[in-house]
Amino acid sequence: MRIPRHAREAVARHEQVVVMNRERPAFVIVHPDDIAAPRRGRPLSEALGLLAGAPLPDARFAADMEAVLAEVGPMPDDPWARS
């Protein structure tokens, strides 16, 4: 996409540039330093700590999983093929 020079210069000055479509705002272009990066998930150390503190599966868990796998059947040779 071609961004006009005056819009690039405005963003370089940390000004927001609103892109209009049919007289309605469609996009806002901002300098990357002006927005906080979204934080997704948890830090790995925190996730590992949660897992370490979680209870172990009970003795019936393996039997339950075997029953599910027996009912579902084997994995197809090509999992992306139409069924």
Residues 23, 70: Cα–Cα separation, whole Å: 59
Which of 4-8, 41-45, 73-77 is modeled with the greatest confidence? 4-8
Neighbours of 40 (CB within 10 A): 5
Q: Are 31 and 12 in contact (CB under 8 A)?
A: yes
Give pLDDT tens digits for 15-68: 999 999 999 999 999 998 888 777 788 889 999 999 999 998 888 998 999 999
Mean pLDDT to the nearest integer, 2-16: 93
**Strand runs labelled E in the chain:** 17-21, 24-29
pLDDT of residue 16: 94
Neighbours of 54 (CB within 10 A): 8
Mean pLDDT to the nearest integer, 6-12: 94
Strand partners, 29: 17
For the question of whether the overall pTM of this predicted structure is more than 0.85, the answer is no
